[in-house]
């Protein structure tokens, strides 16, 4: 078992050792650096594919989910064109059902208080924060998530516009931004006015500050 050394230990783990001497063990500093670098790379790849390119939905989402899991309420709804029948708890929110039961993890859990918009989906064509709505209240609904936006390899115009105008950076908020933009365009309430678009999209926060690109993307896709 490798013993991790203190940051103040000499480079070689013994008095008098000089920088550049061979180090037989792994320092905690080096270990943390390697783990951090690999974690950032993996996270970036995952977020980009899920948020913008909308890879094919997981296999679990391609077929109707079974109603066998515990829960006193039975709810039936369509998600991305696939019918599902589920038993859910009365306090189960739609976001958790989508992510944990249907494995549709493109919809993100951000603040979990309806303040960031990362969990935005369309229910019967209307954009909602799925972290604030109970799954049992959407019996018979038609739900659209980021996984159902593209048609095969053909991206939705809003997805393509986000790529063209760099409407994302880390990608975590991007699924909610795209779903909100699609809903906004369908509502036809903002037209081609950048100020009205920013106001209508104000419920979707971007910590990276990519708002200029997001606005340009919505204007192009409008």
What's the average model confidence in pLDDT over 3-16? Answer: 42
Q: What would be the CATH architecture of the domain defined by 59-221?
A: Roll (3.10)
SS (H, E, C) the chain: CCCCCCCCCCCCCCCCCCCCCCCCCCCHHHHHHHHHHHHHHHHHHHHHHHHHHCCCCCHHHCCCCCCCCCCCEEEEEEECCEEEEEEECCCCEHHHHHHHHCCCCCCCCCCCCCCCCCCEEEECCEEEECCCCEHHHHCCCEEECHHHCCECCECCHHHHHHHHCCCCCCCCCHHHHHHHHHHHHHHCCCCCCHHHHHHHCCCCCCCCCCHHHHHHHHHHHC
pLDDT at 166 over 70: yes
What's the average model confidence in pLDDT over 33-61? Answer: 44
Least confident of 7-11, 104-108, 164-168: 7-11
Task: Name the more confident of 31 and 208.
Answer: 208
* pLDDT per position as a tens digit, 177-192: 999 999 999 998 777 8
Q: Does the predicted TM-score (pTM) go above 0.85?
A: no
Q: Residue 65: pLDDT band by 50, 70, 90 thresholds?
A: low
pLDDT the model gives residue 19? 46
Domain ranges of the chain: 59-221
């Amino acid at each position: 078992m490798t013993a991790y050394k203190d940051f103040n230990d000499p480079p070689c783990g013994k008095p008098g050792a000089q920088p550049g001497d061979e180090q037989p063990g792994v320092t905690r500093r080096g270990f943390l650096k390697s783990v951090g670098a690999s974690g950032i790379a993996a996270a970036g790849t995952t977020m980009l594919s899920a948020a913008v390119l909308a890879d094919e939905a997981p296999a679990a989402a391609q077929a109707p989910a079974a109603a066998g899991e515990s829960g006193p309420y039975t709810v039936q709804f369509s998600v991305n064109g696939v019918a599902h029948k589920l038993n859910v708890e009365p306090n189960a929110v739609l976001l958790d059902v989508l992510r944990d039961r249907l494995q549709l993890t493109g919809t993100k859990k951000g603040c979990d208080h309806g303040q960031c918009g990362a969990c935005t989906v369309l229910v019967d064509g209307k954009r909602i924060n799925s972290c604030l709505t109970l799954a049992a209240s959407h019996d018979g609904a038609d739900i659209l998530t980021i996984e159902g936006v593209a048609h095969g390899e053909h991206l939705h115009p809003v997805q393509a516009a986000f790529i063209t105008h760099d409407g994302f950076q880390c990608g975590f908020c991007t699924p909610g931004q795209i779903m909100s933009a699609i809903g906004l365009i369908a509502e036809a309430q903002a037209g081609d006015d950048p100020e009205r678009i920013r106001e209508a999209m104000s419920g979707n926060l971007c910590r990276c500050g990519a708002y200029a690109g997001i606005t340009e993307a919505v204007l192009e896709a409008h």
